[in-house]
Amino acid sequence: MEPQLVHLIAASVTFVGSHFVLSHPLRQAVHNVIGEKGFMGLYSLVALASFGWMVLAFRAVPAGTPLWDGTGAAVGALASGLTLLAAVLLTGSFQGNPALPDPRARDLAKQPPHGVFHITRHPMMWAMALWAMAH
């Protein structure tokens, strides 16, 4: 594997990983130390820096042979399955989503999870991620 590609993978893992780490395990501890505005500033800075690294790393990767060519029945079946799952999650995300603009949003946020929200808190995000992976 080319070193530039390894660099891109590291930058991408850092970008996604920092979101997971700062959103869950470290959020409360960091928030307690530097406050809400400090946390939002730190979170934004880490996201921007890691995204910038990812963009620079992407630009440095030379054109070459792709990691896979997408041929074969197994790859097609996997992509179709991921796309179907993405479609279910996306469709379900429109049913009672408290994040969508709605005059009833406050009441919807108080309801227990239902439908695809039993599976994930962010079904639309996962739908887009699965669809992107399928491509």
Identity of the amino acid at 130: L
Q: Which two tokens stand for residue 57?
A: 């790393």
Percent of the chain scoring above 70 in pLDDT:
90
Return the amino acid letter for 116: V
Q: What are 78-118's pLDDT values in tens digits?
A: 999 999 999 999 998 887 666 667 777 777 777 777 777 77
Q: What pLDDT is attached to residue 97? A: 67
Give the C-alpha distances (Å, rounded to integers) separating 84 from 89, 117, 122, 128: 9, 17, 17, 12
pTM over 0.85: no
pLDDT in tens, 2-26: 889 899 999 999 999 998 888 877 8
